[in-house]
């Protein structure tokens, strides 16, 4: 079996599998990291997850996801804060050092108002996250999601937000799918790292014939993102974290998941010219 020390897979990538199937099969092909989505934790005894991950020879990289801090009413925003505290507790329980944040956007509110509410929401949960020793990664999303998923639509804005919050607990999660188009990407990656905010790194691809805004992400090599080049920029800053494969795809979820996993490994090796 080849050694792939930086390869991490998100459980959502192989959504048809249970957490135990993910653990068993990832380990078999040399995956070292796992980012766990909350849906994979349903009906699980959280107190045993940490031990199960470790005994499968894997490391938990993050819990996905928290966020969605915006709302039309105070009550809505309070519910979001309560929910984020729950996510942080779950992360602490399963030994995940990081919660990835999809920050939220409420249709009808201005981008500025959404961003203000996001900042306030994160600031409220920071002490709770700190006391649980869980970090928070602001993941900027592609602007096509600015309507209802996230008003944080570029790495530049994520960097500004993380700086404004000014807590060691809060940084940025970079996902090639969301930021590949940014003309100042290299510069923003450098700024992110210089601020000690580069917390985690997601990879996949952008298909030219994308049929669904959410569930038709490509596997590396399916589309037009130069994942290797972006990774080079990320690693030139000194980042040595995982390359996390995170793909939502109706097409790939229909495949035999073992075949899909083998394909992920093949494409991963091709992407980074590994043997």
**Residue 202 tokens, joined:** 């997601």
Q: Is 202 in the site for Zn ion (CB under 5 A)?
A: yes
How far, in Å, CA of 60 to CA of 36, rounded? 7
Q: Which is nearer to Zn ion, 35 or 84 (CB)?
A: 35
Residue 71 in contact with residue 117, Cβ under 8 Å? yes
Residue 235 and residue 193 in contact, taking contact as beta carbons nearer than 8 Å: no
Q: Report if residue 65 touches Zn ion, rule: CB under 5 A.
A: no
Furthest C-alpha separation in the chain: 54
Residue 153-192 contact track with Zn ion, rule CB under 5 A, x = bound: ----------------------x-----------------
Among 170, 246, 252, 257, binds Zn ion (CB under 5 A): 246
User: Do the Cβ atoms of 62 and 98 come closer than 8 Å?
Assistant: yes
Pairwise CA distance, residues 96 & 266, whole Å: 27
Q: Residue 87: which residues within 8 A CB-CB, separation 6 or more?
A: 38, 63, 65, 66, 99
C-beta of 53 vs 61, nearer to Zn ion = 61
- Which residue in the block uniquely carries the two structure tokens 């974290």? 241
Least distance in Å: CB of 199 to Zn ion?
Answer: 12
Shortest Å distance, C-beta 130 to Zn ion: 23
CB of 51 to Zn ion, least distance (A): 27
> 110 CB contacts (<8 Å, ≥6 apart)?
none
- By C-beta, is 67 or 71 nearer to Zn ion? 67
Give the nearer residue to Zn ion in terms of CB position, either 135 or 202.
202
Tell me which residue has tokens 């804005």. Answer: 157
| Closest distance of CB 160 from Zn ion, Å | 19
State which residue, 222 or 246, has the beta carbon closest to Zn ion. 246
Instruction: Report if residue 216 touches Zn ion, rule: CB under 5 A.
Output: no
Distance CA 24, CA 29 (A): 9
The nearest distance, CB 91 to Zn ion, in angstroms, is 16
Measured from the CB atom, the residue of 67 and 121 that comes closer to Zn ion is: 67
> Binders of Zn ion: how many residues, by CB under 5 A?
3
Chain residues binding Zn ion by CB under 5 A are 175, 202, 246
């Amino acid at each position: 079996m080849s050694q792939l020390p930086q390869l991490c897979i998100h459980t959502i990538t192989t959504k048809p599998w249970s957490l135990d199937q993910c653990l068993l099969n990832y380990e078999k092909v040399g995956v070292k990291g796992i980012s766990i989505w909350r849906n994979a934790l349903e009906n699980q005894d959280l107190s045993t997850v940490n031990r199960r991950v470790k005994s499968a020879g894997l490391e938990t990289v993050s819990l996905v996801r928290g966020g969605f801090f915006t709302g039309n009413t105070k009550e809505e925003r309070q519910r979001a804060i309560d929910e984020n505290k729950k996510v942080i507790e779950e992360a602490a329980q399963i030994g995940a050092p990081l919660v990835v944040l999809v920050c939220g956007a409420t249709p009808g509110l201005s981008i500025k108002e959404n961003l203000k509410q996001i900042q306030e929401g994160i600031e409220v949960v920071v002490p709770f996250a700190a006391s649980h020793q869980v970090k928070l990664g602001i993941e900027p999303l592609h602007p096509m999601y600015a309507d209802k998923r996230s008003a944080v639509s570029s790495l530049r804005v994520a960097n500004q937000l993380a700086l404004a919050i000014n807590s060691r607990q809060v940084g940025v999660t970079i996902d090639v799918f969301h930021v590949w188009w940014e003309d100042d990407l290299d510069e923003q990656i450098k700024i992110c790292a210089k601020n000690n905010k580069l917390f985690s790194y997601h990879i996949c691809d952008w298909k030219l014939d994308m049929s669904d805004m959410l569930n038709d992400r490509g596997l590396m090599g399916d589309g037009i993102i130069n994942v290797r080049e972006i990774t080079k920029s990320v690693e030139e800053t000194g980042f040595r974290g995982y390359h996390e494969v995170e793909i939502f795809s109706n097409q790939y979820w229909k495949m035999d998941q073992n075949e899909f996993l083998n394909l992920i490994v093949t494409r991963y090796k091709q992407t980074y010219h590994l043997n």
